[in-house]
Amino acid sequence: MEAAWTRLVFFLEGMTPLEYIISIIDVAIIAYLFYRIILLIRGTRAVHLVQGIIVLLAATVVSGWLNLSVVNWLLDQARLSLLVAIPIVFQPELRRALEQVGRGKLFLRGLPLLDESELQNLLDSVEKAVNMMSRNKIGALIVLERETGLGDVSETGIELDARVSAEFLVNIFVPNTPLHDGAVIVRGNRVIAAACFLPLTEAPVDPKLGGRHRAAMGITEQSDAVAVVVSEETGAISLAREGKLIRNLDEDDLHDILEELLEPEEKSGLLSFLERGEDRE
C-alpha cells in the first residue's frame, strides 16, 4: 500500500498544471458516463446481471490470490464466454443507449418532474378513470412512464399526445372501440399513445391472471414505469412495479402508492409494502 501511494505521489509531482486539468476532466467524463449507465439500467433486470458479473470478477481476483489454479481456469473460461453473452443479455439496454446517442439524449437529464398541480391532476384523472372502469368491469392497462423512456413501446401503438383526463382514459378502454385493446402510455400529464403492445413477463404468475397483468409485470421488469391494471372479469385493481404485482387495491391504496411513486422525493412509508409485492385481501 505504501509503495503504491509513493508511486502515485511521484506521478502527481511530475505533472504540469495543464496535465492536472486534463486529468480531472478525463476522470469527470468517465464518472459521468458511469452515472448515465447506472441510470440507464436502474430498475431493469440488468442490475442483477451486473451484480453477477461483479461477483464473478471478485471471485477471479480471490482465486488468483489464493493460487486456486483449477477454479481460476474455470473463471477465465467464464470471462471469455461473457464477451459473447453480454451483448445478447444486455441487448435491450444497449439498443436503448445507442438510440439515445443517435437522438442526442444520452447526456440529457431524465424526464422533467411534474409540478404539484400537474401531479394532482394526473393522480385524480387516473384514479377516477380506474375506479369508474373497476365498477363497470372495463379492462384497462395504464402505464405511467418515469425516468426510463418508453418511446420504443409507444411506437407499437397509435400516437395521441393528448392531455390526461379521466373521461378520455375511460373512453379509450370502452370495449369494441379501436384503441381499447392494448396499453396506454402516459408521459408526464400527456397520453402519448394507446393500443400499445408490451413485453410479457417470463416469471411464473397466478394462472388466473390474464394478459394485461402479465404485460404490466413485463414492462415494469424492463423499466422503472408503474402500470395500473383493471381486471375485465372481476374489476379488481392491481399495480405493477419492478416486476411485482400488488393486487386487490382499493381507492385509498391506489392514491397513496401512486402519489408516493410519482412525487419528486420518495419516502419510505409505502416502499416496504411495495417491495413485498403482496396481495391486499
Is residue 273 very low, low, confident or very high in pLDDT (cuts 50, 70, 90)? very low
- pLDDT over 80 at 218, yes or no: yes
Using CA atoms, how far residue 8 sits from 5, 18, 20, in Å, is: 5, 18, 13
Q: Identify the residue with better confidence: 31 or 83.
A: 31
Which residue shows C-alpha cell 444486455?
90
DSSP assignment of 160-187, as one string?
Answer: EEEE--HHHHHHHHSTTSTT-SSEEEEE
Q: How large is the average pLDDT for residues 35-60? A: 72
Over residues 181-191, mean pLDDT: 91
Task: Tell me the per-residue pLDDT of 121-135, one tens digit each, with 9 for 90 and over.
Answer: 888 999 999 999 999
Report CA 119 to chain centroid distance, whole Å: 20
Greater model confidence, 57 or 13: 57
Torsion region of 184: left, alpha or beta (phi above 0 gives left; psi -120 to 50 gives alpha): beta
Looking at per-residue confidence, does 81 or 111 come out higher? 81
Weakest-pLDDT range from 107-116, 194-203, 209-218: 107-116
- Which pTM was predicted? 0.61
Per-residue CA distances from 144 to 70, 191, 278 (Å): 50, 9, 21
CA–CA separation, 201 vs 243, rounded Å? Answer: 8
Cα distance between residue 105 and residue 84, in whole Å: 27
pLDDT for 13 equals: 65
* Domain extents in the chain: 2-102, 116-276
The pLDDT of residue 111 is 43
- What number is the average pLDDT over the span 193-202? 90
Nearest-angstrom CA–CA distance, 206 and 273: 20
> Which residue has 382514459 as its cell numbers?
169
Give the right CATH number for 116-276 from 3.20.20.10, 2.40.160.20, 3.90.550.10, 3.40.1700.10: 3.40.1700.10
In percent, the amount of the chain with pLDDT more than 90 equals: 25
Q: Please check the confidence at residue 102 and state whether its pLDDT lies above 80.
A: no
When pLDDT is cut at 50, 70 and 90, the band that residue 48 belongs to is: low
Residue 20 pLDDT exceeds 50: yes
Query: Residue 63 — very low, low, confident or very high, per pLDDT cuts 50/70/90?
Result: confident
- The mean pLDDT of 37-58, rounded to a whole number, is 70
CA distance 98 to 40: 11
